[in-house]
Amino acid sequence: MKRIGILTSGGDAPGMNACIRAAVRTALANDLAVAGIRRGYTGLIAADAVSLDRAAIRNTIHLGGTILETSRNPDFYTREGRLRAAAAIERMGLDGVVLIGGEGTFHGASLLAADADTAALVGVPGSIDNDVYGTDYCVGFDTAANCAVEAIDRIRDTARSHERLFFLEVMGRTAGFLALESGIAGGAEELVIPEEEVSIDRISERIRAGFTTGKKSAIVVVAEGKTPGISFEIAREIGKQLNADPRVVVLGHLQRGGPPTMRDRVLGSLLGVAAVEALLEGRNGCMVGEIGGDLRCTSLEETWQKKKPLDENLLRIFSFLSE
């Protein structure tokens, strides 16, 4: 192992730069040369890389986004595109690649490994949705969740002042981790998450019951699901049942940006170091994650083939904490 590459792929997540920084410093401490691959798999196919040294990653730990930039490239889901990527890895002289991203990133890496005998591949979970199997938390989730909690706190002031029903939409296309944990932390009255069927009647009845016990306002946290903006339709239907005039706030990409929290900086650093050390140990085709406080390696195939479940205990306690 003499030269490695690092790339960020898919949606950006706060803490990715902390991970890049940690991986670079670990590599340099072990006499490895480091290439930063720009724009994710788009840059990998094009062999678009820059040399990463200490100066390149200095004063980056506090930055949101990713200094290497990122993309989603449909060409990588074709065998031709992956073979071009494998050829580019060979041209760049890479013995290993650290891939920071989510399910789509690791799915693509699995297909690349199946198509070509290429460099060793080790992943780091970076996703604000926190939906990657093989780790308790992904880099970026804590920052995004805290963004949602701050929004709930601010909206509650207005909801209470105007005695109004609010719907706050957070990201989470296929998973409700953001909605669940920010809903608990923000004291939301109701949740709408992909893991559970939406029941307008049930939500309406629970909100109505709260009003009868003295509540004058309520907040419903909605995971965006497959259709961002779905909270407008849900709010309209529930508003009719309650004879209320609800308001909707969609956080959208606000949750992606901004300085990472301490937790995301530490997690990104920890997993960045672990990824390079895994390559040095001869590991290949795996993702490093943290489960129960311990570092674990999970095969890349498992990270996207297996569904990461919500914490059943958090679901259980939300039901009565929200009353």
Is residue 212 one of the residues assigned to a domain? yes
Question: What pLDDT score does 274 carry?
Answer: 98
φ/ψ of residue 16, rounded to 5: -60, -40
Give residue 228's pLDDT band: very low, low, confident or very high (50, 70, 90).
confident
Is residue 224 one of the residues assigned to a domain? yes
Is residue 247 one of the residues assigned to a domain? yes
Amino acid (1-letter code) at residue 259: P
Collapsing DSSP to helix, strand or coil, 217 comes out as coil
Give residue 319's pLDDT band: very low, low, confident or very high (50, 70, 90).
confident
Is residue 319 one of the residues assigned to a domain? no
107 with 20, same domain: the answer is yes
Looking up residue 286, the CATH number of its domain turns out to be: 3.40.50.450
Sign of CA dihedral 157, 148, 58, 294: positive
Is the confidence at residue 184, as pLDDT, over 90?
yes
**In angstroms, rounded to a whole number, what is the distance separating the alpha carbons of residues 187 and 208?**
17
Summarize the confidence of residues 131-160 as an average pLDDT: 95
Question: What pLDDT score does 107 carry?
Answer: 95
- Choosing from 196, 229, 256, the residue where a domain stops is 256
Is the confidence at residue 225, as pLDDT, over 90?
no
**In angstroms, rounded to a whole number, what is the distance separating the alpha carbons of residues 296 and 139?**
15
Q: How many domains does the chain have?
A: 2
Residues making up the chain, counted from first to last: 323
Question: What pLDDT score does 305 carry?
Answer: 95
DSSP 309: P
Is the confidence at residue 321, as pLDDT, over 90?
no
DSSP 261: P
List, in order, residues 6 or more apart from 296 with CB less than 8 Å away.
Answer: 134, 135, 288, 289, 290
Summarize the confidence of residues 286-290 as an average pLDDT: 98
252 with 268, same domain: the answer is no
188 with 43, same domain: the answer is no
Tokens of 25: 């410093």
Label the pairing between strands 96-101 and 190-192: unpaired
User: Mean pLDDT of all residues in the chain?
Assistant: 94
| Least confident interval from 31-45, 61-75, 148-162, 202-216 | 202-216
Is the confidence at residue 226, as pLDDT, over 90?
no
Is residue 62 one of the residues assigned to a domain? yes
Is the confidence at residue 264, as pLDDT, over 90?
yes
289 with 238, same domain: the answer is no
8 with 132, same domain: the answer is yes
9 with 126, same domain: the answer is yes
Is the confidence at residue 35, as pLDDT, over 80?
yes
Q: Strand locations in the chain, DSSP E?
A: 3-8, 33-37, 49-51, 96-101, 120-125, 165-170, 190-192, 218-223, 247-250, 286-291, 294-299
Residue found by looking up tokens 């339709």 in the block: 233
Question: What pLDDT score does 214 carry?
Answer: 84
Summarize the confidence of residues 49-76 as an average pLDDT: 94
Give residue 112's pLDDT band: very low, low, confident or very high (50, 70, 90).
very high
> What are the angstrom distances between the C-alpha of 20 and each of 98, 275, 295?
9, 10, 18
Summarize the confidence of residues 181-193 as an average pLDDT: 94
Give residue 212's pLDDT band: very low, low, confident or very high (50, 70, 90).
confident
- Choosing from 219, 236, 256, the residue where a domain stops is 256
Label the pairing between strands 294-299 and 165-170: unpaired
Our answer to whether residue 95 is catalytic in this structure is no
Give residue 270's pLDDT band: very low, low, confident or very high (50, 70, 90).
very high
**In angstroms, rounded to a whole number, what is the distance separating the alpha carbons of residues 264 and 16?**
9
* Residue 226 exposed, middle or buried by CB count within 10 Å (0-12, 13-18, 19+): exposed
237 with 226, same domain: the answer is yes
214 with 246, same domain: the answer is yes
- Choosing from 222, 256, 290, the residue where a domain stops is 256
List, in order, residues 6 or more apart from 97 with CB less than 8 Å away.
Answer: 4, 5, 6, 7, 37, 44, 89, 119, 120, 121, 122
244 with 161, same domain: the answer is yes
Collapsing DSSP to helix, strand or coil, 2 comes out as coil
Is the confidence at residue 323, as pLDDT, over 80?
no
Is the confidence at residue 57, as pLDDT, over 90?
yes
The residue segments making up the domain with residue 86 are 3-140+260-305
What percent of the chain has pLDDT above 70? 100
86 with 197, same domain: the answer is no
Residue found by looking up tokens 């890049």 in the block: 20
Give residue 89's pLDDT band: very low, low, confident or very high (50, 70, 90).
very high
Is the confidence at residue 82, as pLDDT, over 80?
yes
Is residue 312 one of the residues assigned to a domain? no
Looking up residue 246, the CATH number of its domain turns out to be: 3.40.50.460
121 with 162, same domain: the answer is no
φ/ψ of residue 81, rounded to 5: -65, -40
Question: What pLDDT score does 16 carry?
Answer: 98
Amino acid (1-letter code) at residue 43: G
Tokens of 128: 């604000």
236 with 291, same domain: the answer is no
Is residue 187 one of the residues assigned to a domain? yes
Summarize the confidence of residues 27-38 as an average pLDDT: 98
Q: Which residue in 12, 129, 131, 264 is the catalytic one?
A: 129
Is residue 315 one of the residues assigned to a domain? no
Buried b (16+ CB within 10 A) or exposed e, 41-70: bbbbbebbbeebeeebbeeebebbbbbbbb
Question: What pLDDT score does 235 carry?
Answer: 94
Collapsing DSSP to helix, strand or coil, 121 comes out as strand
**In angstroms, rounded to a whole number, what is the distance separating the alpha carbons of residues 139 and 265?**
8
Summarize the confidence of residues 92-96 as an average pLDDT: 97
